[in-house]
Structure 1
């Protein structure tokens, strides 16, 4: 409980006698107020202690004062609608928050902007399902969850919204409490001011010179966390382009995502003794989606090697190899194979990174490159082999995955077969990640609804000696299965 104190009568020597009220068990705690004459004054403590200090000097005396106090169950205000940039914190921060708290902050920015949220201090009860913070990517708790923060997470986590809205919820249960948290939020630049683009290879930062001019800055003054990395400057833009593992870029594993961040700074003027320009610091970053879709087709002599591109997604490539040693990639196009021939496939991140694992979640074959549902055949589903010729060499322990299967064709269709694989990217040091779980017969949730996916088409496999739309049935494994 907290203390509520009300002064009902105060008659003091106003020059020299006074009352002071402190928010805590001693006068060393924050001063809530000073009283020298009667006014309608009440004070509330932030915890279960309140200190009242009365002083009188050696001269005139008066009647004194009268006050009432009572213990109350606190109902501190929290949550609300916040706009643009600012900070917010848990109730009573940095003092302990209260039990059974439920606070919702609705953050919003201008149209075309995104919101960047950073937790600068987190000290919660050491029970992640008791007290926690949840961040949602949208204007309400009905939108996708970006992550959950609990315990004493001081990793300065950064969350990026995909729109102009972000929602933050803080909950505490009826047991232990702690100091709480402090969060800072800022709005991104609009597209006519600047943008950042990431792939598996590079971070590209583009800042419009018109925006810099409005701040009184010159493009030549800009640098990133590695001051040796300088931009190229055109008549309209200032552009930084460098590998993701260079120029001071920081990589962080967080909530199943991989985040790359850097900062754009401005050097101080070398002339004059004063500056009217505040320090310029622009935080830039990309959150890489851990779920990537790659797709290949085999046509009996088709090179299947291509990239998935897109801002904030890992570039992955998929290719055929000549043998189980995976030393020699096949570049023929099209790739012609014999029915029942062993095919060797590797899916890998384009930029090798031993701190990441790539897990093959699902591989689906289809005679139609635009439809992997109506007529399809599962080689792999939720990490579980569905084809008895499928063999995994490795999956979930490296930045690449390798497997083989025997070539087949679909009945009553042409001889082309298309293959699409879904892969998941996990931190190598997370032993509870999806990558380490292997085959999971019952899919707990749909990855498609949680992660963004991309596909890339790379041309079909063609079976040797097969004519379009013809072929003989042989060894049909299941009367309902369209694959032979």
Structure 2
């Protein structure tokens, strides 16, 4: 969400542009010559969510603090605002939520943690649960491999979005399959650590038609110095099979995150 406020109004209330903030006082505006602008996330900066009669309302407040003292009792509400999203398949505006934001999959030798982030910088992990996602919104995903064995690496073989957690074929959106990119919105981000895989894709528009959808990813763990392993084979078209498939199957991890 975005809110633009005239600086003349802020001054008329006895505040400077630098004195105002959202409900979370660390969320400050971008200050221009005549206006200030807030960029308000749906899941941060003190934004509150209310579900009622098939609609979701997000609300926040612009507050002023005397002399910038966030923790002063003299914090006054200047503007209350809300964004209401109706449950309309035609409008496609009701978000879907990722629940839970983390998925941890253990094995005998390693653990893979699966997390969502709010930007391509991968600096702020999404901790809010549920995590609501708009159709056609970019999602940033990171999978991290933890192991006492230092010479392992992680590879994304397949990621699919489906409304049925037991069927990722009938109604589904392929993000990547067999190491081959199927979704034009998919983009991978390089990491200096081969145990980290991070990528972006856009939430499919059909999520607005279901109360929940699911993201399933198949990750493969390999020895980083085994250049004949699945991790180095990249895209494998249907019909092609590696002679190493049997060896790699024991290191395949299926990770499923539910989007409600």
Range into which the TM-score falls when normalised by the shorter chain: 0.5 to 0.7
Residue number in structure 1 paired with 2:111? 315
Correspondence 1:459 to 2:258: yes
SS at match of 2:231: helix
Structure number with greater CO (CA < 8 Å, separation at least 6) is 2
Matched position secondary structure for 1:432 = coil
Equivalent-residue separation in structure 2 for 1:458 and 1:388 (angstroms):
21
Q: Which residue of 2 aligns with 1:360?
A: 156
CA shift in 2, pair 1:422/1:388, >3 Å: same
**8 Å CA contact 1:358, 1:396 repeated in 2:** no
Residue equivalent to 1:390: 186
Deviation of 1:396 after TM superposition, in Å, equals 11
State whether residues 119 and 140 of structure 2, in contact with CA within 8 Å, keep that contact through their aligned partners in structure 1: yes
Match of 2:129 in 1: 333
CA contact (8 A) 2:96 2:207 kept: no
- Counterparts in 2 of 1:31-430, with a 5 A limit? 299-300=96-97, 302-310=99-107, 312=108, 314-351=110-147, 354-394=150-190, 398-410=194-206, 413-430=209-226
Give how far 1:313 is off. 5.1
How far residue 356 of structure 1 moved from its aligned partner, in angstroms, is 1.4
1:411 deviation in Å?
7.2
- Provide the C-alpha distance between the structure 2 equivalents of 1:441 and 1:396, rounded to a whole number of angstroms: 28
Relative distance call for 1:344 and 1:411 in structure 2 (3 A) is closer
Report the alpha carbon displacement of residue 358 of structure 1 after superposing the two structures with TM: 0.5
CA deviation after TM superposition for structure 1 residue 432, in Å:
2.7
CA positional deviation for 1:387: 0.6
Gap change, CA 1:383 and 1:339, over 3 Å in 2? same
Distance 1:451 1:395, change over 3 A: farther
Q: Which 5+ residue runs of structure 1 have no aligned equivalent? A: 1-297, 463-484
397 and 383 in structure 1: CA distance in 2 versus 1, 3 angstrom threshold: farther
Contact between 1:346 and 1:402, CA under 8 Å: does it hold in 2?
Answer: yes
Deviation at 1:347, TM superposition (A): 1.0
Deviation at 1:415, TM superposition (A): 4.4
Deviations, residues 235-259 of structure 1 (Å, cap 9, x unaligned): xxxxxxxxxxxxxxxxxxxxxxxxx
Distance in 2 (CA, whole Å) between partners of 1:435 and 1:397 is 14
Assess if the C-alpha contact under 8 Å between 1:303 and 1:320 holds in 2.
no
SS of 2:101 mapped into structure 1: coil
2:17 — aligned with what?
none
Q: CA RMSD in A?
A: 3.1
Q: Structure 1 residues 342 and 422 mapped into 2: Cα distance closer, same or farther (>3 Å)? A: same
Distance 1:338 1:436, change over 3 A: same
Checking the alignment, whether the CA contact within 8 Å between 1:361 and 1:382 is kept in structure 2 is yes
**What displacement does 1:314 show?**
2.8
State the match for 1:275 in structure 2: none
More helix as a share of residues: 2
Equivalenced residue count is 163
TM score, norm. by length of structure 1? 0.30
TM-score by length of 2: 0.54
Distance 1:346 1:303 in 2: 14
* Unpaired segments ≥5 residues, structure 2: 1-94
Q: Max radius of gyration: which structure?
A: 1
